[in-house]
């Protein structure tokens, strides 16, 4: 026989092995709430703590296990998700890599450099309207754009120096110009990132289909697949790792550089030209060479500048001295981009290349220089790769800018939430979806997308540079006058180009962006106004007594709609009576005889709860039920009216269409009713 001391207290029997941890936070009987109830034996039934670890009084931290869904289908879904995007990462696992100049050039310049793959072609496409002879004009236009590039790059060097923690247009504008210009910058950045994805992917696919023309009919599907892949990769959370970016970027720099050098050598020294340049004769009469035409060609080529601002965002990623290294890298990037762009324009001129819809200009040049040798394919693959990288930078930038906006309340909170892999999932998915729609609508045609592009680029350049002007004026650090002048020139030039681009491209599609940006700003401000209003409305006034004494316990009126005497009804009634002394069951029927039979049975079987039978001559359930709730509400003297709805839950999804239709309707109707509380008691069908 056991001595009393040896007896285990009954509570301990339910403990799990290894559950030594005592987590008072996991107990449902708060001592404070009900001191000395005598229920202490229940306090000892400890939950096992595999889900939580205690880190202080009233503080628990959860383990990865809490993420495992309980039911099979959801668990399967989670497994698929993990295969696609990987296991979740804790917030503390974030890694911050510091980049050397060589790696940083690779990481930040793909967007800018990649535009040399299509900018020349776009200039030629505009000029060809005035005949093949007009193509010569591409040289001075390219030089003008190169000068513009130099000014903008020089101007951004100032930003890099002033904002060692990263100075994107939105941040610079918010700090120096105020909310409205910051929102304009934000809107133009978001627009621009979407277009970068659509344009870069289209151009990347064009590089592939130039080399393999048999893929041309599949260009939209190829592009959409590339975007889908990038969405997944970014949800998985690719580090902006220098190593991943270095190979394609330097392959591109190397192969494009070789092409330009060899091409110039062959043409100028050996005197080689393209064997038989296909003669393009545009439909109808030739356009005269006008200022408008030249401006159009200039505006088309100006897209080359997109991505130049990337380094200014990413200064903190550089190894120290951050600002100095970033500035050097920026100069290098501008120099490479400028020489590639101008070099390609010269080669296109020398080899007499005309724009074709099925083959890109760089591809024609590369074919002319290398024939269709293996090196030609190297150039095309490198071009396609760097364009994909360029699109990928938007997948890092768009969600980040969106998260800034969301954190400031201008976009829905979801944009600021980081998913399982620390990526801003909402932004990534939105970007991928909108870019895919654009790709499909524009049939993966770079030339059709270009008119929408560049407005956002130059708008954010202008705002950012103007912000820097304000910055220098405000701080007046040593040497501020010189910096101010540089940024002022940058701002004015960007602004002028912005106006030119907007005007000449307006009828060709730019109007979409011109209207879209103000609309986005309007959206941002109304979202912010809404959040502000809500926060104001939800904040308790300081004089409010915070949680009064329990408000009339067991006093609130509780209504239980009942279809008959069933197990779920009994359970609902039991629950109702455990929370209030004032429970009424209500039965709505269009057949009063059946209603009265129910009432008789009810009085015999459930005499404790009063039943009201509501006849509904118009056969509506909702109408009489809501009217009844109204009637009760009028007497409730401010107490909330509670309606208990029991719903059947079944494991077979198709069965749900056979049930709960009235329950669902009633819930929806009551949700919009003030002063009403809805209690949903699911009844699991065995």
Convert 400-414 to b/e letters by CB count within 10 Å (16 or more is b): bbbbbbbebbbbeee
Least distance in angstroms from the C-beta of 535 to a second copy: 8
Tokens describing residue 324: 């100095």
Phi, psi values for residue 29, rounded to 5°: -100, 105
Min dist CB 200 to a second copy, Å, is 30
Spatial neighbors of 320 by CB under 8 A, at least 6 apart, are: none
Q: Tell the residue number behind the tokens 């093949």, with chain if given.
A: 132
**DSSP assignment letter at 278:** P
Cβ at position 17, least distance to a second copy in Å = 15
Residue 668: burial class (beta carbons within 10 Å; 0-12, 13-18, 19+): exposed
Strand-strand pairing, 52-56 and 59-62? antiparallel
Cα–Cα distance, 309 to 372 (Å, whole number)? 36
For the CB of residue 405, give the shortest distance to a second copy in the complex, in Å.
13
CA distance 422 to 411: 19
Q: In whole angstroms, how close is the CB of 426 to a second copy at the nearest point?
A: 10
Helix (H) or strand (E) holding 76: helix 72-85
Residue 203 or 666 having the CB closest to a second copy: 666
Which residue lies nearer to a second copy by CB, 357 or 665?
Answer: 665
The answer to whether the CB of 609 falls within 8 A of the CB of 656 is no
Query: 79 vs 619, which CB is nearer to a second copy?
Result: 619
For a second copy, the closer of residues 107 and 405 by Cβ is 405
DSSP alpha helices (H): ranges in 163-214? Answer: 169-176, 179-211
374 vs 671, which CB is nearer to a second copy?
671
Q: Which lies closer to a second copy via its Cβ, residue 234 or residue 676?
A: 676
Q: Report yes or no: 427 and 415 within 8 Å, Cβ to Cβ.
A: yes
Q: How far is CA 61 from CA 52, 90, 419, 448, in A?
A: 6, 12, 18, 53
Helix axes 455-475, 169-176, angle to 10 degrees: 40
Which residue, 477 or 603, has its beta carbon nearer to a second copy?
603
Find the shortest distance in angstroms from Cβ 416 to a second copy: 11
DSSP state for residue 269 in the 8-state scheme:
I
Distance CA 168, CA 291 (A): 34
DSSP designation for 99: B
Among residues 682, 643, 627, 644, which one has the least CA distance to residue 660? 682
Q: What is the smallest separation between the CB atom of 165 and a second copy, expressed in angstroms?
A: 20
Residue 658 CB, shortest distance to a second copy, in Å, is 5
Cα(11)–Cα(344) distance, integer angstroms: 82
Calpha distance 604→96 (Å, rounded): 73
Taking the least distance from each CB to a second copy, the nearer of 339 and 584 is: 584
- Output 508 or 599, the one with its CB closest to a second copy: 599
Q: Rounded to the nearest whole angstrom, what is the least distance from the CB of residue 672 to a second copy in the complex? A: 6
* Tokens found for residue 398: 């768009």
What is the closest distance, in whole angstroms, from the C-beta atom of residue 586 to a second copy in the complex? 9
Residue 640 DSSP symbol: P
Q: Give least dist CB 399 to a second copy, A.
A: 15
Choose between 7 and 578: whose C-beta lies nearer to a second copy.
578
Nearest to a second copy of 180, 567 (CB atom): 567
Q: How far is the CB of 73 from a second copy (least distance, A)?
A: 10
Nearer residue to a second copy within complex by CB, 99 or 430: 430
**Alpha carbons 458 and 303: distance in angstroms, whole number:** 9
Closest CA to 679 of 655, 647, 650: 647
H helices within 423-479, ranges in order?
A: 425-441, 446-449, 455-475
Nearer to a second copy, 3 or 72 (CB): 72
Q: How far is the CB of 69 from a second copy (least distance, A)?
A: 8
Q: Say how far apart CA 319 and CA 226 lie, in whole Å.
A: 32
**Shortest reach from residue 646's CB to a second copy, in Å:** 10
* Comparison of 292 and 658: residue with beta carbon closer to a second copy: 658
State the distance between the two ends of the chain, measured CA to CA, in whole angstroms: 43
Neighbouring residues of 655: CB distance < 8 A, sequence distance ≥ 6: 685
The rounded distance, in Å, linking the Cα atoms of 79 and 85 is 10
């Amino acid at each position: 026989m056991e001595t009393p001391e040896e007896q285990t207290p009954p509570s301990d029997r339910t403990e799990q092995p290894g559950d030594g941890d005592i987590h008072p936070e996991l107990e449902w009987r708060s001592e404070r709430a009900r001191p000395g109830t005598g229920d202490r034996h229940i306090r000892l039934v400890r939950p096992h703590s595999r889900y939580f670890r205690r880190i202080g009084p009233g503080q628990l931290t959860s383990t990865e296990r809490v993420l495992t869904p309980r039911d099979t289908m959801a668990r399967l879904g989670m497994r698929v998700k993990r295969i696609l995007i990987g296991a979740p990462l804790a917030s503390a696992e974030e890694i911050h890599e510091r980049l050397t100049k060589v790696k940083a050039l690779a990481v930040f310049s793909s967007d800018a450099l990649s535009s040399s793959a299509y900018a020349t072609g776009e200039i030629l496409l505009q000029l060809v309207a005035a005949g093949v002879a007009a193509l010569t004009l591409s040289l001075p236009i390219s030089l003008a754009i190169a000068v513009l590039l130099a000014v903008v790059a020089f101007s951004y060097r100032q930003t890099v120096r002033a904002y060692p923690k990263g100075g994107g247009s939105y941040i610079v504008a918010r700090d120096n110009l105020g909310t409205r210009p910051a929102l304009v910058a934000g809107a133009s950045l978001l627009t621009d990132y979407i277009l970068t994805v659509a344009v870069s992917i289209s151009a990347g696919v064009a590089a592939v289909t130039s080399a393999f023309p048999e893929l041309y009919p599949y260009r939209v599907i190829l592009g959409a697949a590339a975007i889908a892949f990038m969405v997944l990769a970014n949800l998985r959370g690719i580090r902006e790792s220098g190593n991943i970016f270095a190979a394609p970027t330097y392959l591109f720099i190397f192969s494009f550089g070789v092409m330009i050098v060899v091409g110039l050598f062959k043409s100028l020294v050996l005197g080689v030209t393209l064997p038989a340049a296909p003669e393009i004769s545009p439909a109808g009469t030739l356009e005269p060479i006008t200022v408008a035409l030249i401006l159009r060609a200039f505006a088309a080529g100006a897209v080359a500048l997109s991505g130049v601002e990337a380094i200014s965002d990413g200064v903190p990623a550089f190894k120290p001295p951050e600002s100095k290294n970033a500035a050097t890298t920026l100069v290098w990037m501008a120099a490479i981009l400028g020489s590639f762009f101008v070099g390609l324009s010269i080669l296109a001129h020398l080899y007499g290349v005309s724009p074709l819809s099925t083959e890109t200009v760089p591809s024609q040049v590369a074919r002319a220089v290398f024939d269709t040798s293996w090196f030609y394919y190297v150039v095309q693959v490198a071009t396609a790769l760097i364009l994909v990288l360029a699109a990928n930078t938007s997948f890092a930038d768009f969600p980040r800018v969106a998260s800034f906006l969301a954190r400031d309340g201008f976009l829905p909170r979801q944009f600021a939430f980081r998913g399982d892999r620390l990526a801003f999932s909402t932004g990534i998915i939105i970007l991928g979806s909108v870019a895919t729609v654009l790709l499909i609508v524009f049939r993966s045609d770079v030339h059709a997308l270009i008119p929408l592009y560049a407005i956002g680029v130059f708008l954010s350049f202008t705002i950012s540079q103007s912000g820097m002007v304000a910055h220098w004026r405000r701080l007046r650090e040593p040497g501020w006058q010189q910096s101010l002048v540089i940024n002022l020139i940058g701002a004015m030039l960007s602004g002028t180009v912005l106006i030119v681009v907007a005007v000449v491209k307006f009828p060709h599609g730019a109007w979409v962006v011109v209207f879209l940006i103000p609309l986005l700003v309007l959206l941002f401000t109304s979202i912010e106004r809404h959040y502000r209003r809500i926060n104001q409305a939800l904040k308790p006034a300081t004089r409010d007594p915070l949680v009064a004494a329990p408000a009339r316990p067991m006093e609130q009126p509780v209504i239980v709609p009942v279809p008959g005497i069933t197990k779920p009804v009994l359970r609902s009634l039991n629950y109702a009576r455990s929370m209030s002394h004032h429970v009424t069951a209500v039965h709505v029927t269009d057949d009063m005889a059946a209603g009265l039979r129910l009432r008789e049975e009810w009085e015999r079987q459930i005499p404790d709860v009063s039943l009201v039978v509501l006849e509904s001559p118009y056969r509506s359930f909702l109408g009489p039920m809501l009217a009844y709730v109204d009637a009760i509400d009028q007497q409730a003297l401010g107490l909330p009216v509670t309606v208990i709805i029991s719903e059947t839950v079944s494991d077979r999804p198709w069965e749900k269409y056979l049930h709960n239709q009235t329950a669902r309707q009633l819930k929806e109707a009551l949700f919009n009713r003030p002063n009403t509380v809805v209690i949903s008691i699911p009844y699991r069908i065995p």
